[in-house]
Amino acid sequence: MTSKQRSYLMKLASPLDPVLQIGKSSLTPEVTAAVDEVLEARELVKLNLLKNCADDGREVASVLAERTHSQVVQVIGRKIILYRESKTKKKILLP
């Protein structure tokens, strides 16, 4: 992903509210499956790490990206933005 594409996706994700929250149990198979479903439906997802999650945001983002075959767009503090092109419902056209 180029920096121009990443910038475009950050701009699209800015007004979005976090869809999922990751808490104390961190990355369970259920959380990974939920993120996978949301990525297929929306292509761009914003996640929130709760304060009781002891894991680092960048670490969680990289593991989630690997498990869901997505790309990390941005990690700021406890906010994670992931992108994956949908196989059936393509909504976002990257520049």
**pLDDT at residue 32, as a whole number:** 94
- What is the token pair recorded at 74? 């941005």
For position 6, what pLDDT does the model report? 94
Written in H, E and C, the secondary structure of the chain is CCHHHHHHHHHHHCCCCCCEEECCCCCCHHHHHHHHHHHHHHCEEEEEECCCCCCCHHHHHHHHHHHHCCEEEEEECCEEEEECCCCCCCCCCCC
DSSP, res 20: E
Segments forming the whole domain that contains residue 71? 3-83
Whether 88 has a pLDDT exceeding 90, the answer reads no
Tens digits of residue pLDDT in 6-23: 999 999 999 999 999 999
Residue 15 within a domain: yes
Residue 95 in domain: no
> What pLDDT, in 10s, does the model give residues 33-45?
999 999 999 999 9
* Residue at 52 is within a domain: yes
Predicted local distance difference test score (pLDDT) of residue 25: 87
Per the structure, how many domains does the chain have? 1
Q: What is the CATH number of the domain that holds 58?
A: 3.30.110.60
Would 21 be classed as within a structural domain? Answer: yes
Instruction: Provide the pLDDT for residue 91.
Output: 85
**Is 88 inside any structural domain?**
no
| Within-domain flag for 24 | yes
